[in-house]
């Protein structure tokens, strides 16, 4: 399985797009690396770049980018709102797929060593890549910033991990590390006061603030300043003024969105700002965000409205964007901001990305795919979509306010089944193509014949497993359909009935595909097992369909 690392270098240039382009060109010159996002900020005079790829390729791309940034950026002339200490200020590596944090840290150390030895740039390790826990915190390393590092680097305790212990006036120093996924997030305030923005930042950030009375620091019995922690865990925050927008912002790093999600940081900031006489007007993301962070936010804000959360992924994202004002300063394009969307292979969703007319035309063409398996999956997705619609209508029905949560849960379950069935539309066609590819393999030698036979058998088994999953999902959807026929909005009972017809069709159609592919699979024990289970699902779905149709006809009454 492919190992994937994300790398998010921050370069101290946010205004000269030609310099930024020269740096990102270095990244794109490395095979196996995909440049996902380039996010320049004028006021911060800083560009956050996001790339992803296999570990060795990421190390090479990052090295080339750091090298080029050191050539083009002169830190002695740099000014910006964001804390910084080098041309490449920070360069974290983040494990994305099939790689541990320990291994990611090893690659970060490898990159740091190359930068220090080959480029002669002072390099500090941080977070998981730094074995010395006394200096693994980025803010502690960067304290004093560029201007203060001429003296700081001479202290024995601040000797760089790699590279010379001499501060480079032009290139500064670089911090390289390995960390968990971090969300950089700015919240907009209706003030121009950095001091007031900082007050809110101190209210919410985990580190909080030093306790003061009458303007003086309050110490404990040991003479150490007493600290008042902020309200949110795994949150770092400062306030600043952004001249470009003419407003102050709370600049937040969410270091663990499982502990403090984006929507909680937003709501808490709203609360604290209100307490201090200010108002949050919106927010902005810097770089990319995981899909779940936005869908969770969408559900959170819908639940606050006591509305069903069983809506589409697209609708959840829209609710999240509007609720947090992520489009206040610039348009928010999910396809450019959500990491899963950036990594998605469009070819894997060829059919589901088509219009209805194009899908029908493709099905009717002389091409053998999409065939009955893909159509069964699609019919099944339509069936559960109708039940989900009934659940959502019931959740919002006048006079049923106390039942909104009940129907919301049914709708949410329906969305999960619908989304998986839609993926199986393309997956079934991919399974067919895999069989065709296997049959097209060379068979000139005995070894090639053996490899070809094994490939055919593997593809055939996969071509049974996909429609069998369609069967199980479509049958499971009938539980939701029946519930909607019995207890859902009575005005939509016919929709539940049509949903049952679709679900039964999906089960029976998918089973035909299981059976036809089973004829070419040599493991008869496996074939007998899957056919036996398939017959049971088919019989149960026919029985359940009859029950649902009977309920629907009785309610319609004509």
DSSP state of 226: P
Lowest mean pLDDT among 152-156, 180-184, 281-285, 373-377: 180-184
Mean pLDDT in residue range 18-24: 96
Q: Which residue has the tokens 């207890």?
A: 487
The single residue listed with the structure tokens 């060829």 is 350
pLDDT, mean of residues 469-479: 97
What pLDDT does residue 249 have?
A: 96
Give the side-chain half-sphere CA count within 13 A for 460: 19
Question: Are 93 and 107 within 8 A, CB to CB?
Answer: yes
Where residue 122 falls among pLDDT bands split at 50, 70, 90?
Answer: very high
Element (H, E) at 252: strand 247-254
Q: Residue 372 corresponds to which tokens in the numbers above?
A: 């009955």
| Phi, psi (deg, nearest 5) at residue 441 | -70, 155
Q: Is the dihedral of CA 79, 83, 86, 90 positive or negative?
A: negative
| CB count in 10 Å sphere of residue 342 | 17
With a pLDDT cut of 70, the percent of the chain lying above it is 100
Alpha-carbon distance of 8 to 183, in angstroms, equals: 11
Read off the pLDDT of residues 484-512 as tens digits, 9 standing for 90 and up. 999 999 999 999 999 999 999 999 999 99
Q: Which two tokens stand for residue 328?
A: 């206040």
Does 218 score more than 90 pLDDT? no
pLDDT of residue 1: 65
Res. 419 pLDDT band, cuts 50 70 90: very high
How far from chain centre, in Å, is Cα 368? 35
How would residue 557 be classed by pLDDT, with cut points 50, 70 and 90?
confident
CB burial string 213-234: b at 16+ within 10 A, e below: eeeeeeeeeeeeeeeeebbbeb
For the chain, what is the radius of gyration of the CA atoms? 29
Pairing status of strand 174-178 against strand 88-97: parallel
pLDDT at 132 over 80: yes
Give CA separation, 186 vs 230, 236, 318, 330, 345, in Å: 17, 11, 19, 13, 30
Is 428 noted as a catalytic residue in this protein?
yes
Mean pLDDT of the chain: 93
Phi (first) and psi of residue 83, to 5 degrees: -55, 140
d(CA 277, CA 241): 17
Print burial letters for 101-112: b (CB count within 10 Å at least 16), e (below 16). Answer: beebbbbbbbbb
Which of 89, 161, 203, 428 does the annotation list as catalytic?
428
Q: Is the pLDDT of residue 368 over 90?
A: no
* Banded pLDDT at 287 (limits 50, 70, 90): confident
Tokens of 458: 């593997």
Over residues 296-345, the pLDDT tens digits come to 999 999 999 999 999 999 999 999 999 999 999 999 999 988 888 887 77
- pLDDT, tens digit, 9 for 90 and up, residues 442-451: 999 999 999 9
Residue 418 confidence (pLDDT) above 90 = yes
Domains parsed from the chain with CATH numbers: 4-178 (3.30.990.10), 183-343 (3.30.70.670), 350-556 (1.20.120.680)
Concerning whether 78 is annotated as a catalytic residue, the answer is no
Query: Given this model, what pLDDT does residue 258 score?
Result: 87
Position 82 scores a pLDDT of 86
Question: Which pLDDT value is given to residue 98?
Answer: 85
Which of these is catalytic: 67, 82, 89, 495?
Answer: 82
The mean pLDDT of 84-113, rounded to a whole number, is: 94
214 pLDDT tier (thresholds 50, 70, 90): confident
Does pLDDT of 380 surpass 70? Answer: yes
């Amino acid at each position: 399985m492919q190992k994937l690392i994300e790398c998010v270098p921050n370069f101290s240039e946010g205004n000269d797009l030609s310099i930024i382009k020269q740096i990102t060109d270095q990244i794109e010159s490395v095979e196996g690396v995909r440049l996902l996002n380039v996010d320049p900020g004028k006021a911060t005079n800083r560009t956050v770049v996001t790339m992803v790829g296999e570990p060795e390729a990421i190390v090479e791309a990052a090295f080339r980018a750091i090298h080029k940034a050191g050539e083009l950026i002169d830190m002695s002339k740099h000014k910006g709102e964001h804390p910084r200490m080098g041309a490449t200020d920070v360069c974290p590596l983040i494990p994305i797929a099939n790689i541990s944090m320990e291994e990611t840290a090893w690659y970060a150390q490898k990159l740091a060593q190359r930068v220090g030895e080959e480029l002669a740039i002072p390099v500090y390790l941080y977070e998981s890549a730094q074995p010395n826990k006394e200096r693994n915190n980025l803010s502690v390393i960067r304290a004093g910033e560029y201007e203060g590092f001429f003296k700081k680097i001479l202290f024995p305790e601040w000797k760089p991990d790699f590279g010379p212990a001499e501060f480079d006036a032009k290139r500064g120093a670089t911090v390289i590390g390995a960390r968990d996924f971090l969300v950089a997030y700015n919240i907009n305030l209706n003030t121009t006061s950095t001091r007031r923005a900082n007050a809110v930042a101190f209210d919410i950030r985990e580190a909080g603030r030093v306790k003061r009375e009458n303007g003086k620091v309050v110490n404990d019995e040991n003479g150490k300043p007493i600290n008042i922690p902020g309200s949110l865990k795994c949150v770092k925050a400062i306030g600043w003024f952004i001249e470009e927008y003419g407003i102050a912002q709370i600049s937040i790093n969410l270091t663990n969105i499982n502990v403090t999600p984006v929507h909680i940081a937003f709501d808490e900031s709203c609360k604290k700002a209100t307490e201090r006489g200010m108002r949050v007007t919106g927010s902005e993301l810097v770089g990319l965000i995981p899909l779940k962070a936005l869908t969770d936010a969408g559900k959170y804000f819908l639940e606050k409205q006591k509305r069903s959360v069983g809506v589409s992924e697209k609708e959840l994202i829209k609710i999240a964007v509007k609720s947090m004002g992520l489009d206040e300063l610039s348009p928010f394009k999910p396809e450019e901001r959500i990491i899963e969307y950036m990594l998605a292979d469009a070819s894997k969703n060829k059919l589901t990305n088509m219009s209805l007319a194009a899908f029908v035309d493709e099905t009717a063409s002389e091409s053998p795919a999409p065939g009955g398996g893909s159509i069964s999956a699609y019919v099944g997705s339509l069936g559960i979509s109708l039940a989900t619609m009934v659940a959502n209508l019931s959740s919002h029905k006048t006079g049923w306010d106390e039942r909104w949560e009940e129907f919301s849960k049914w709708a949410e379950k329906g969305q999960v089944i619908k989304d998986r069935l839609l993926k199986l539309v393309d997956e079934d066609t991919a399974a067919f193509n895999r069989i065709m590819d296997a049959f097209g393999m060379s068979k000139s030698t005995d070894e090639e014949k053996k490899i070809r036979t094994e490939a055919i058998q593997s593809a055939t088994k996969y071509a049974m497993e996909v429609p069998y999953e369609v069967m199980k999902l479509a049958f499971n959807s009938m539980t939701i359909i029946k519930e909607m026929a019995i207890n859902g909005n009575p005005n939509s009972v016919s929709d539940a009935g049509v949903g049952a017809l679709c679900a039964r069709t999906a089960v029976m159609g998918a089973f035909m595909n299981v059976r036809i592919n089973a004829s070419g699979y040599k493991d008869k024990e496996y074939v007998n097992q899957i056919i036996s289970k398939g017959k049971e699902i088919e019989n149960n779905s026919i029985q359940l369909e009859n029950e649902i149709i009977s309920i629907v006809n009785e309610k319609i009454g004509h």
